[in-house]
Amino acid sequence: MWREIQGCNNWKGLLDPMDSHLRKEIIRYGEFAQSCYDSFDYDPHSKYCGTCKYQPSHFFDKINMLKKGYEMKRYLYATSNINLPNFFQKSKMSNVWSQHANWMGYVAVATDPEEIKRLGRRDIVVAWRGTVTYLEWIHDLQDILHPAHFRDDPNIKIETGFFDMYTKKENNCHYASFSAREQILAEINRLIEKYQGEELSITITGHSLGAALALLSAYDIAGKSITKIIPISVFSFAGPRVGNLKFKERCEELGIKVLRVINVHDKVPTVPGISYAHVGAELALDHHRSPFLKPNSDLGCAHNLEAHLHLVDGYHGKVRAFRSATGRDVALVNKDSSFLKEEYGVPPFWWQDENKGMVRTSDGQWVLPERPVIEAHPPDTAHHFQQVLKLARARLNLP
Amino acid sequence: MWREIQGCNNWKGLLDPMDSHLRKEIIRYGEFAQSCYDSFDYDPHSKYCGTCKYQPSHFFDKINMLKKGYEMKRYLYATSNINLPNFFQKSKMSNVWSQHANWMGYVAVATDPEEIKRLGRRDIVVAWRGTVTYLEWIHDLQDILHPAHFRDDPNIKIETGFFDMYTKKENNCHYASFSAREQILAEINRLIEKYQGEELSITITGHSLGAALALLSAYDIAGKSITKIIPISVFSFAGPRVGNLKFKERCEELGIKVLRVINVHDKVPTVPGISYAHVGAELALDHHRSPFLKPNSDLGCAHNLEAHLHLVDGYHGKVRAFRSATGRDVALVNKDSSFLKEEYGVPPFWWQDENKGMVRTSDGQWVLPERPVIEAHPPDTAHHFQQVLKLARARLNLP
């Protein structure tokens, strides 16, 4: 399966005729992206607002994803001190876990021998969180291209907001003291060292703004000597454009496989503007084709990740009849939307914690319990990041 | 304690100086009323919308009220086919538990020997559900007085909407085939027969529209020969006016003790209009006196039952300093409101079910589980209701 995805130069039309194995793979990676929403603390009344609700070691258990056979390796954070104010979640409390950081996703690695055998290699997955429903951040996207000076060519440019989110850090904050870029490059280096001699793959997935970060980080990683022989793929859901034509061409030169799953009614893939180029093959879905979904829903619905996964599961090209390729539960669509037709009897926005996480103590008082402190960054982060830069410099014969 | 409440002819000023025992008693009965909200299914996407989420036998356990020492005896229903359209909750589903009924509360009885000893008698409690936040029903209250023809005097009149809610039934519906009136009178008769020879009391409690039903049912019950020697009390929270001056006078003649707990900023106790008279002693609270509450909140906040209980717990008359009489948790205020100041870090509207009641089946599908059928009415309902009427007729020498 993995080789099939990797080996395909043009994903267009890949789902015609329907290939249920490929659908399953797209959904599998989409669920990694979705897990970043399902585990995120959005509650401004929680002092943990903006972080992941679960400890890394419990993550896949809490999110019902143990069966995927992956192990959590590291959480990724970005600083919110950048020019995308409507994207970050801020607590209203004074005593908070961090004033400057938001949890942005994670790096995990396949550890189940069966899964490694099935894939034909050990897969490293990176999942980036995006935005579930709020689209205000689109308006904050400025049509300003920033040189992507990870490498030599100054003509390769990307959207400033994405560049900032990926590269900015905040020394005053424990969690944002390394940029998202430093965190991910360090972790990839560490894992490559750890699994030296094994066949590896890197698969990066994200939805919305997370899709932009997925492509950006794939581009960054692919240019590093450390990953020369490791195939890098991106599963992008409802992603905006990221960079200019030069950026797109460079991504192609680097051999990054990108599948862009979009809904034709979603506006996000049309931003920021025409100075930008999409990268990769497009799998265009149309929510009007699903008999389960309200045809005239709002833009938030059209952008919803669970709805995309539902359409991947059962989209039949020209045929209107909907048949599920994987038996995926349609109720999942309404987890964080009101997109399902009411006749299916699934409550809208049903994914919620009991009592918003309030628990009753032994003396009968209701409180938001303290959570264990999550390690900000492994102590070897700086070392591994420097290692990546050193190898890159060596390759380019720079001092 | 019970005797103190019963023996007091004028409740006014009863909480000055602060009497923590009395506060506890008011809160205790207020919590019975609150439990009707906490257990109610408001979800229009559930086919059980408009009913109680719990089986009668599990009710006090589920709602954390086992310690009160009461046993659930019967659920009360009213038909929604009356002229108060904004009060009832209707499911959007087609296959629903009932097209015509809403769960309106319950009758329970003290069974814990310690509690019976403390009270000095076996207490029967009736709790009526009202409305948590939506005040649309106020506008539906017509200033039309209806003769309360439970008894001989045609000059005793009550608001038509309340009268209808209490007396109307719907033969097509299992749950509304007896009126709320028939249900409660039958149950009171049954319990009086069952506990013959014991000292009993009947305490009726409710909030908002539930407070109106509490007074109305107390008036109805008190006029029946069966209850001649049983003290009847009403704990009314944020209740509207119910009937005319004659109604009020008749309630006083019948010896019903009514404590009306209100917040001076709440509009509901000022409706329906001046043709109506309040019954009983007023305990006026002022949410501006609590340092925990947002002073300029909306009318829904001012009307909120949990906020009333919070103010009963810590209202100090002229003193602004807030001290809790019972150690009641202020976090409870935000169960179904956004009334607590944000600095306390309690999420607004935090009382919610995990995943809106959706559960994952063994094959991984998410569903709203089926609930066991709740008995509509005990088979002896008609018998007991006829018994009450017979005794009443006998007392009035009617044929």
User: Which CATH number covers residue A108?
Assistant: 3.40.50.1820
Catalytic residue, candidates B266, B310, B336, B384? B266
Least confident of A126-130, A170-174, A282-286, B96-100: B96-100
Of the listed ranges A52-66, A108-122, B11-25, the least confidently predicted one is B11-25
pLDDT value, residue B11 = 47
For residue B322, being part of any structural domain is answered with no
- pLDDT of B83 reads 77
Mean pLDDT of chain B: 88
How many structural domains does chain B have?
Answer: 1
**Using an 8 Å Cβ cutoff, are B330 and B339 in contact?**
no
Closest chain A residue to B44 measured between Cα atoms?
Answer: A347
- Residue A138 in contact with residue A267, Cβ under 8 Å? yes
E strand or H helix at B393: helix B381-395
Task: Return the amino acid letter for A290.
Answer: S
Instruction: Give residue A18's pLDDT band: very low, low, confident or very high (50, 70, 90).
Output: low
B303 catalytic? Reply is yes
Q: How many residues in chain B? A: 399
Residue B330 placed within a domain:
no
Asked whether the beta carbons of residue B366 and residue A46 sit closer than 8 angstroms, the reply is no
pLDDT tier at A322, thresholds 50, 70, 90: low
pLDDT number for residue A13? 47
Find the catalytic residue in B39, B201, B208, B338: B208
Q: Which of B94, B355, B367 sits opposite A351 (nearest CB)?
A: B355
Question: pLDDT tens-digit profile of A159-186?
Answer: 988 999 999 998 888 899 999 999 999 9
- Domain-embedded: residue B309: no
Inside any domain, residue A299: no
Chain B residues in contact with chain A using a Cβ-Cβ cutoff of 8 Å: 43, 45-47, 64, 92-94, 329, 331-332, 342-343, 345-358, 360, 364-368
To which H or E segment does residue A110 belong? strand A101-110
> For A329, which of B47, B356, B366 is closest by C-beta distance?
B366
**Which residues in chain B have their CB less than 8 angstroms from residue A366's CB?**
329, 331-332, 346, 350
Compute the average pLDDT of residues A122-150.
81
Indicate the pLDDT class of residue B2, thresholds 50, 70 and 90: very low
Domain that holds residue A54: 2-285+353-395
Predicted local confidence at residue A12, as pLDDT: 47
- Chain B residue with the nearest C-alpha to that of A354: B354
Mean pLDDT of A103-116: 97
Nearest Cα of chain B lies from the Cα of A94 at a distance, in angstroms, of 8
On whether the CB atoms of residues B251 and B236 are closer than 8 A, the answer is no
pLDDT of residue B316: 55
CA angle A372, A378, A379 (to 5 degrees): 120
The answer to the question of residue B213 being in a domain is: yes
User: Per residue in B146-181, pLDDT tens?
Assistant: 887 776 688 999 998 899 999 999 888 889 999 999
| Residue-level pLDDT at A172 | 85
CA-to-CA separations, B291 to A269, B115, B253, B322, in angstroms, rounded: 49, 34, 41, 7
Phi, psi of A331 (to 5 degrees): -55, -25
With contact defined as beta carbons under 8 Å apart, do B22 and B15 qualify? Answer: yes
DSSP state of A211: H
Q: What DSSP string runs through A40-92?
A: B---TTSTTTTSBSS-GGGHHHHTT-GGG-EEEEEEEEEES-SS-TTTS---S
On the question of pLDDT at B324 being above 90, the answer is no
Active-site annotation holds for B139: no
Residue of B93, B342, B353 lying closest to A45 (CB–CB) = B342
Question: Which residues, listed in sequence order, are joined to residue A109 by a DSSP beta bridge?
Answer: A71, A124
Which has the closest alpha carbon to A237: A302, A308, A286?
A308
pLDDT over 50 (residue B319): no
Q: How far is A69 from chain B (nearest CA, A)?
A: 17
Among A13-22, B249-258, B266-275, the least confident range: A13-22
pTM for the full predicted model = 0.89
Model confidence at B393, pLDDT cuts 50, 70, 90, reads confident
Cα A57 to Cα B40: distance, rounded to the nearest angstrom: 37
Please determine, for residue A130, whether its predicted confidence score (pLDDT) is greater than 60: yes
- CA angle in degrees (0–180, nearest 5) for A143-A305-A338: 110
Evaluate if residue B110 carries a pLDDT over 70: yes
With an 8 Å Cβ cutoff, the interface of chain A facing chain B consists of 43, 45-47, 64, 92-94, 329, 331-332, 342-343, 345-358, 360, 364-368
| DSSP one-letter code for B146 | E
Find, among A118, A127, A115, A167, the residue nearest to A146 by Cα: A167
In eight-state DSSP terms, residue B347 is P
Q: Is residue A320 part of a domain?
A: no
Choose the mutation target among B353, B361, B363 for the interface with A, i.e. most A CBs under 10 Å: B353
- For tokens 């899964």, the residue is A115
Could you tell me which of B146, B170, B175, B168 has the C-alpha nearest to residue B159? B146
CA angle A46, A48, A53 (to 5 degrees): 110
How far separated are the first and last CA of chain B, in Å rounded? Answer: 42
A98 noted as active-site residue: no
Report the share of chain B in percent with pLDDT over 90: 62
Averaged pLDDT, A391-397: 76
Tell whether the model's pLDDT for residue B3 goes beyond 70.
no
> What's the pLDDT tens digit per position in B216-252?
999 999 988 777 789 999 999 999 999 999 999 999 9
Please tell me the predicted confidence (pLDDT) of residue B187: 96
Name the pLDDT band for B96 (thresholds 50, 70, 90). Answer: confident
pLDDT score at B338: 94
Contacts of A338 in chain B (CB under 8 A): none
Mutate which: A68, A329, A336, A370, vs B, most B CBs within 10 A: A329
- Confidence at A316, pLDDT banded by 50, 70, 90: low
Q: Which two tokens stand for residue A3?
A: 């080789």
* Residue A121, domain member (yes or no): yes
Bridge partners (DSSP) listed for residue A236: A206, A260
Asked whether residue A302 is domain-assigned, the answer is: no
Q: Which of these, B305, B286, B233, lies nearest to B31 by C-alpha position?
A: B305
Which one is predicted more confidently, A7 or B139?
B139
Nearest CB partner across the interface for B347, out of A43, A332, A347? A43
**Residue among A266, A319, A262 nearest A290 (CA):** A319
Most B-contacting residue of A61, A356, A359 (CB-CB within 10 A), to test interface? A356
Please list the alpha-helical segments (H only) found in chain A.
2-7, 20-38, 59-62, 113-119, 136-140, 160-167, 180-194, 209-222, 245-253, 299-303, 305-314, 381-395
Burial class (CB in 10 A: 0-12, 13-18, 19+), A35: buried
Catalytic residue selected from B303, B308, B377, B384: B303
d(CA A278, CA A243): 8
Give dist(CA A307, CA A321) in Å, integer: 17
Please, are residues B140 and B86 in contact by the beta-carbon 8 Å criterion?
yes
pLDDT over 70, % of chain B:
91
Confidence of residue B75 (pLDDT cuts 50, 70, 90): very high
Task: Give the nearest chain B residue to A353 (CA atoms).
Answer: B354
Q: Across all residues in chain A, what is the average pLDDT?
A: 88
pLDDT on residue B95 = 76
Nearest-Cα distance to chain B for A93, in Å, is 6
Taking contacts as CB-CB distances below 8 angstroms, the residues of chain A near B332 are 366
CA–CA distance from B262 to each of B202, B225, B278, B304 (Å)?
22, 32, 12, 10
What are the chain A neighbours of B329 within 8 Å (beta carbons)? 364-366
What is the mean pLDDT of the segment spanning B79-85?
80
Give me the mean pLDDT over the B76-105 stretch: 84
Query: Is pLDDT above 70 for B7?
Result: no
Span between the terminal Cα atoms of chain A, in Å: 42
pLDDT band at residue A7, thresholds of 50, 70 and 90?
very low
Residue whose structure tokens are 């989409």: A30
A45-49, A150-154, B118-122: range with lowest mean pLDDT? A150-154
Higher pLDDT, B15 or B181: B181
